[in-house]
Amino acid sequence: MTRVKICGVTTFQDALMCAESGADAIGLNFWPRSVRRCDPQVAARIAEELAGKVLLVGVFVDASEAEIEQTRKVARLGCVQLHGDEPPALVSRFLPHAYKAVRVRCANVLAEVRRYPGEHILLDAYVPGIPGGTGATFDWRLAQQVAQERKLTLAGGLRAENVAEAVRAVRPYCVDTASGVESAPGVKDPEQVRAFVREARGALAGG
């Protein structure tokens, strides 16, 4: 069954709601310039309630190894997502509980993916100057071969209305959404979250 990650969670209440709605993972964004930045103390409170119940993923953009390590401990992160221009060596430092997010810029995405170590990889849409959470999609056909080689988390413009189609087209390990389940940037909408989880999980039912 396809796993579901709700990313860009900023409040304790939204984290609980996402967990109760059936999310397998919750993404906590620690990039200072993000409209979805999660305060580390809020993240720590979320961890007190949810660590061990859902996977807590810390999202970082070109942060130092020391910063990532410190935040990982404070927020009791189960996994680290590197969403900037980090080198393969930094991914290796946090394996096996880390993966690289690759923004799809061209048809040769497989070569870019193969630069990075680890069992998992994330593909997101490329929008100049914005690391993620853009709501933009990309050609899912470019993700199909990646999904055959790696445990792929598919991101980029996914919402309840298109996630089932994406799952059927790509067969990813996990689907990831942020803006696709929001009423405002950083504010999750319970109905949209539940619908996203339902559509993602039901996409391959019977097949």
Q: Which residues are catalytic?
A: 7, 124
How far is 98 from 30, CA to CA, in rounded Å? 15
Question: What number of CA atoms fall less than 13 Å from residue 183's CA on the CB side?
Answer: 8
- Token pair, residue 109, equals 């995405």
Which residues does residue 177 pair with via DSSP β-bridges, in sequence order?
A: 6
Are 137 and 157 in contact, with CB atoms under 8 Å apart? Answer: yes
At 125, list the tokens. 């849409």
Question: Which distant-in-sequence residues (6+ apart) come within 8 Å of 106 by Cβ?
Answer: none
How far apart (Å, rounded) are the C-alpha atoms in residues 139 and 17? 31
Spatial CB neighbours of 78, under 8 Å, sequence gap ≥ 6: 51, 55, 56, 57, 97
Which position has the token pair 């445990």? 151
Beta strands in the chain (DSSP E): 3-6, 25-29, 55-60, 79-82, 98-104, 120-125, 151-154, 174-177, 182-184, 187-188
Decide if 27 contacts 193 (C-beta within 8 A).
no
